[in-house]
Amino acid sequence: MATVAITGAARGIGLELAAQHVAAGDTVIALPRKASAALEELAASSGGKLTIHACDVASDASVRAAAAASGNAPIDVLYNVAGVTGPMANELEGADWDAWNEAFAIMVQGPLRVLQAFLPRLGDGAKVMNITSQLGAMAWPMGGMYCYASAKAALNRLMRSVAIDLKGKGIIIGLIHPGWVQTDMGGPHAQITAEESASGIRKLGAEWTLDDTGAFRKWNGETHDW
């Protein structure tokens, strides 16, 4: 049985990942910004397998406190899931820079902050699976969503460097586009359910090898263009 830690576990893909890991008998360290009723219900029905530790990934103090409160058991898979859409307006003439700063604090600094805090508990073979987006790929053929797309591109490049730097310790880094998913972010008309996405992500988390550290994949295991 594995021990996993999941940011953004209050709803969406993070909550579904937590539910699937509990169902598989794994130990889950849920790291929501703030617990939701659904996450609390999952904890209550998990027989102690899932514990909740409030973790705002945009805050150093919050992330450090959550890591400390969650004990010192080794982590097999750390999922960096937390994300926001960020500003959506046409920004060629002006932009909401506070919203940009918040989005980058959550989706670029956030995953590194969380990795730093949990690094002492990541050993040989441990995995850090980062939920990125196809919008962060240079190959993405559309304009718009400047903040979100550039934050995910920055995350991709950041984790490529981290993958190189942690390879000697046997720590495996993955970048996963989760699909267009039916969550609050993806909306009801998205292509796949959170169950399908999380199931694919979980499989990737189980099977990713050190030879492929730093690679960019889709939830279904296909290689993603950079």
Ligand X SMILES: NC(=O)c1ccc[n+]([C@@H]2O[C@H](COP(=O)([O-])OP(=O)(O)OC[C@H]3O[C@@H](n4cnc5c(N)ncnc54)[C@H](OP(=O)(O)O)[C@@H]3O)[C@@H](O)[C@H]2O)c1
Three-class SS state of 80: strand
Among positions 42, 82, 145, 173, the unique one binding ligand X when judged by CB under 6 A: 82
Among positions 6, 10, 29, 75, the unique one binding ligand X when judged by CB under 6 A: 10
106 lies in the binding site for ligand X (CB under 6 A): yes
| Alpha helices per DSSP H over 119-193 | 146-166
Q: Which residue has the tokens 């994300």?
A: 83
CB closer to ligand X out of 123 and 221: 221
Q: How many residues bind ligand X (CB under 6 A)?
A: 29
112 lies in the binding site for ligand X (CB under 6 A): no
Give the side-chain half-sphere CA count within 13 A for 53. Answer: 22
CB closer to ligand X out of 77 and 82: 82
Structure tokens at 44: 């209550």
The helix (H) or strand (E) run that includes residue 74 is none
Binding mask 155-184 for ligand X (x = CB under 6 A): -----------------------x-xx-xx
CB closer to ligand X out of 124 and 184: 184
CB closer to ligand X out of 25 and 140: 140
Helix and strand counts by DSSP (H, E) for the chain: 7, 7
Q: How far is 201 from 131, CA to CA, in rounded Å?
A: 9
Query: In the bound complex, what is the minimum distance in angstroms from residue 169's beta carbon to ligand X?
Result: 25
Query: What residues does 198 pair with on adjacent strands?
Result: none
136 lies in the binding site for ligand X (CB under 6 A): no
Q: Which residue has the tokens 């050190």?
A: 210
Contact 136, 104 (CB under 8 A): no
Query: In the bound complex, what is the minimum distance in angstroms from residue 133's beta carbon to ligand X?
Result: 4
Contact residues for ligand X, defined by CB under 6 A? 7-8, 10-14, 32-34, 55-58, 81-84, 106, 131, 133, 178, 180-181, 183-186, 190
